Structure 1
Amino acid sequence: MSADNTRTDEYDLIVLGGGPVGENVADRAVQGGLTAIIVESELVGGECSYWACMPSKALLRSAQALRAAQHVKGAAEAVTGKLDVRAVFERRDSFTSNWSDDGQVKWLDSAGIDLARGHGRLTGEREVTVTDADGGTRVLHARHAVAISTGSDAVIPPIDGLREASPWTSREATSAEELPDSLAVIGGGVVAVEMATAYAALGSTVTLIARGELLASMEPFAGERVAAGLRELGVDVRTGTGTGSVHRGDDGVTVTLDDGSTVVATEVLAATGRSPRSGDIGLEVAGLEPGRWIETDDTLRVPGSDWLYAVGDVNGRVLLTHQGKYQARAAGDVIVARAKDDTVDDGAWGRHVATADHSAVPQVTFSFPEVASVGLTEKAARDAGRAVQVVDYDLGGVAGASLYEDGFDGQARLVIDTDRDVVIGATFVGPEVAELVQTATVAIVGEVPIARLWHAVPSYPTVSEVWLRLLEGYGRQSA
């Protein structure tokens, strides 16, 4: 302890941010024999555990289960009630541990990872100063590395009056304790369609306002089918129009659209993207500009700093928890390797790189219907100069799908690189198609030749039989 009451400690690795990404970086480092400390100013477990992945999917699951029962004759006749909104919220709360991180802190302790509560800033090379809630400071020195895993924040776009109207972001939408009578959702991406799905199913009157089409980065049929599904749930879907202004009055929020129409709702949700949480963490020390995405190489190290890493959302590569954890495993392992002067496996698909971020990112949108995708869309593949063939199939025509749900409606697509005869993209849309995406991910990452995929026989009768139908379709097109 120094004379000015500033405590100084040394670790092999300092991690800024205690979400799933930071936890995984630290855990891999400790498993490799290093010492590590996490610095966290909020809840250990991060956005995913308390305001994103877990609570949002908990809000969606009850309605999904009810709908599944209602679409199977025999089970449908047994379902006579409606969703219990309070029970849904209580189940959601159980997955967030009522916004307590006691369990996560215990896990850190069991994993041999230290924790510093407070706001961490880079104050020198391999140095982080932590300021706690009482203003006390603690200086941490890293023998080998500092990993920034501070995540991202929801963007509130510069729409006239929006910020003054105290809009919901994803945090408020996933943690609300009361169901609003009506909700206006601004945005057309994953958060927008998932929260529109959830609140419409729970009983709110929902209007979704998107400047473009829904899920614009995916295959066009995905957004079209989700828009139709939302309308089936009673959502007023307005695409192709922006939001001009927002005003909160005594009677709620009035949203004025660019086309001159208005929407009046109890609450308004801004779901228009994320920004890096990098504004006040001392990036100047490393010659970086605060508030920007932090560029890294494929080992997640910041160019020009052999000691600094940026992992997860904050580097802007892929803003998905599972990809952040994938990056974290690579980063933690490479930090250990470099600390021990071991060989660094940084070639394509090496254990110390995040190669999959470029071409094999799986994602599930838990909307109605679900969208599961991985790899390149047809447009992205063609824009990249790939020679491709696209194969579509009606999921409702698969025997396992018709058994799974009466009137099963969905669509599957493969994007195939015809020069190499391998799958480079896949999209599935339909009831609970999330479990189909891992097979496609393995096919893409493994670059499994189509000739070999023919021997991966799907069990009958399952929805996975769509793979056989897709390969047959490719064979007919190629004949």
Structure 2
Amino acid sequence: MAQTAEPAAQSREYDVVVLGAGPVGENVADRANALGLSAVIVESELVGGECSYWACMPSKALLRPVAARADARRVPGLPEAAGGPLDARAVFARRDAFTSHWKDDGQVDWLDSAGIDFVRGKGRLAGPKRVTVDGGPELIARHAVAVCTGSSAALPDLPGLATARPWTSREATSAQAVPGRLAVVGGGVVAVEMATAFQALGSRVTMLVRGSSLLARMEPFAGELVAESLAEGGADLRWNTSVEEVRRADPDGPVTLTLGGGERIEADEVLFATGRAPRTDDLGLETVGLEPGSWLEVDDSCLVTAVEGGWLYAVGDVNHRALLTHQGKYQARIAGAAIAARARGTSKLDTGRWGAHAATADTAAVPQVVFTDPEAASAGLTTEEAERAGYRVRSVDVDLGGVAGASLYADGYRGRARMVVDLDREVVLGATFVGPGIGELLHSATVAVAAEVPLSRLWHAVPAYPTISEVWLRLLEAYRG
């Protein structure tokens, strides 16, 4: 039965104790429970975690009206109807509904219905297989403790930043007003998505990028096309720019950013999207010989390698393998199966490549969609990553605007697709798509990469006409020459 914090009680035993009730922790507990193990989750914030309240769900709720309006403006007969400004109040209201107004009653009810116990409070390790909870019971794990506490926004150490009330991803996704001027520090996913959302809602956006491109972990053309779109919408993109100081003299006034070289710019709000840090600083890691505040290194079954005894797991962002909600949930399914197998005394786990107890996709087939306009999506390895890994590769590019389904989707469709092929095995190592509406195209690429489908067989996977997915045929034709 799910429960809230209670007076200190005698120790309770479970097969699995999970720290963190985000999607990752929920999935570890659910998988373990489904395989016959008892599980309890400890959480001090909202059940559902970062993704439900301050990341995936609210950010995509903010971005969906942006994409819908942009798509409408590209189809004859609709530009006049979609020509007005977005109704920020309605957009925020829909976002609030998707976050359940930052209440977790429904998620707590789900834990109860799944037969997973819940203790609300701050949980900390207190030695091997032991967890203490502020104001609650001590929990003892018969088989495993899983750390699923995620990550938080990492802020740089800059003069004045602590008192300038900067936005992080949390403040941006939960904002209740549109700033007239928004400065965005960073060039990654959070930076480009929030720049896209608030520019469409009416903010004048300035992006301060340390490097010379956006979305540096994707193929270069992805960031180029997104940057072009942001600039066309009015954003001021500053490349190779560093922020040296941040000041807000008046609590209700603007913020001033001093850049390298001494230039100053003023904004009503500033969003720092400069990376993530593991939420492991107050978990009692020192009681099992680990460094507080560190990323936790794991093997492919998500077992922490530096702790003896085979009982401590780190799943999701905290292991720094692939900081994406869907990858964390995937790891949770792998870890839950591994925990159950070890609990049954299985002598040898299936930890080979693509085995039942190996999170191989974390390194070979990670999918990601960036919900900008245009969307950018990738699965597997980029050309550079594949070459660095030692593969002999060939990359094939296709203009998405030349595909019949894309030209029907929008007039003047701009987009690009790339397929990275392992020349020795003739399988797809990675694919990247940039263009309106391509997010739903990505899973086909993920399947091709994860299944290592030979190109000779992929040739027989006939795309429906006229859809954007016909780009697969164009890519294969370009590869064959």
State the TM-score, normalizing by the size of structure 1.
0.96
Q: CA RMSD in A?
A: 1.2
**2:91 maps to what in 1?**
88
Distance 2:8 2:356 in 1: 42
Deviations 1:279-336 (CA, angstroms, capped at 9, x unpaired): 1101112211110000011000112331110000011111000000000001111111
Distance 1:263 1:51 in 2: 28
Q: Is the 8 A contact 1:194 1:365 kept in 2?
A: yes
The residue correspondences of 1:123-134 to structure 2 (distance < 5 A) are 123-131=126-134
The residue correspondences of 1:183-194 to structure 2 (distance < 5 A) are 183-194=182-193
Worse-matched range after superposition: 159-168 or 264-273: 159-168
* Letter matched to residue 131 of structure 2: V
Distance 1:390 1:32 in 2: 43
Distance 1:128 1:101 in 2: 23
Distance 1:392 1:191 in 2: 27
Give ranges in structure 1 of 5+ residues lacking alignment.
Answer: none
Q: Is the 8 A contact 2:70 2:373 kept in 1?
A: no
Q: Is the 8 A contact 1:241 1:259 kept in 2?
A: no
Q: Is the 8 A contact 1:7 1:137 kept in 2?
A: no
Helix, strand or coil for the counterpart of 1:237? strand
Helix, strand or coil for the counterpart of 2:334? helix
| 2:338 aligned with 1:334 | yes
Deviations 1:50-103 (CA, angstroms, capped at 9, x unpaired): 000000000011111111111111222333532110000000000000000000
Q: 1:465 to 1:100 in 2, by over 3 A?
A: same
The residue correspondences of 1:279-290 to structure 2 (distance < 5 A) are 279-290=281-292
**1:12 maps to what in 2?**
15
Distance 2:67 2:474 in 1: 27
Shift of 1:260: 3.1
Distance 2:473 2:80 in 1: 34
**2:467 maps to what in 1?**
462
* Letter matched to residue 233 of structure 2: L
**2:238 maps to what in 1?**
238
2:298 to 284, 296, 299: 296
Shift of 1:451: 0.9
Q: Is the 8 A contact 1:253 1:266 kept in 2?
A: yes
**2:272 maps to what in 1?**
270
Distance 2:393 2:66 in 1: 38
Helix, strand or coil for the counterpart of 2:470? helix
1:29 to 27, 32, 47: 32
Aligned positions, number: 469
| 2:435 aligned with 1:430 | yes
**2:151 maps to what in 1?**
152
Distance 2:474 2:154 in 1: 42
* Letter matched to residue 58 of structure 2: P
Helix, strand or coil for the counterpart of 1:215? coil
Distance 1:155 1:188 in 2: 14
Distance 1:8 1:418 in 2: 58
Shift of 1:5: 4.5
Q: Is the 8 A contact 1:152 1:275 kept in 2?
A: yes
Distance 2:158 2:462 in 1: 52
Shift of 1:14: 0.2
**1:209 maps to what in 2?**
208
* Letter matched to residue 200 of structure 2: A
**1:103 maps to what in 2?**
106
Helix, strand or coil for the counterpart of 1:143? strand
Distance 2:340 2:86 in 1: 49
| 2:361 aligned with 1:367 | no
1:449 to 431, 444, 454: 454
Q: Is the 8 A contact 2:334 2:359 kept in 1?
A: yes
| 2:403 aligned with 1:401 | no
* Letter matched to residue 146 of structure 2: A
Q: Is the 8 A contact 2:377 2:432 kept in 1?
A: yes
Q: Is the 8 A contact 1:15 1:149 kept in 2?
A: yes
Deviations 1:209-230 (CA, angstroms, capped at 9, x unpaired): 0101211111111111111111
Q: Is the 8 A contact 1:214 1:239 kept in 2?
A: no
| 2:312 aligned with 1:313 | no
Deviations 1:435-469 (CA, angstroms, capped at 9, x unpaired): 11111111111111111111011100000111111
* Letter matched to residue 325 of structure 2: T
Distance 1:365 1:137 in 2: 40
Q: 1:5 to 1:388 in 2, by over 3 A?
A: closer
| 2:194 aligned with 1:182 | no
Q: Is the 8 A contact 2:16 2:144 kept in 1?
A: yes
| 2:79 aligned with 1:76 | yes
2:359 to 329, 354, 358: 354
Distance 1:80 1:38 in 2: 48
Helix, strand or coil for the counterpart of 1:317? coil
* Letter matched to residue 48 of structure 2: G
Q: Is the 8 A contact 2:119 2:136 kept in 1?
A: no
Q: Is the 8 A contact 2:184 2:272 kept in 1?
A: yes
Give ranges in structure 2 of 5+ residues lacking alignment.
Answer: 1-6
Distance 2:417 2:158 in 1: 37
Distance 1:200 1:115 in 2: 40
Shift of 1:382: 1.5
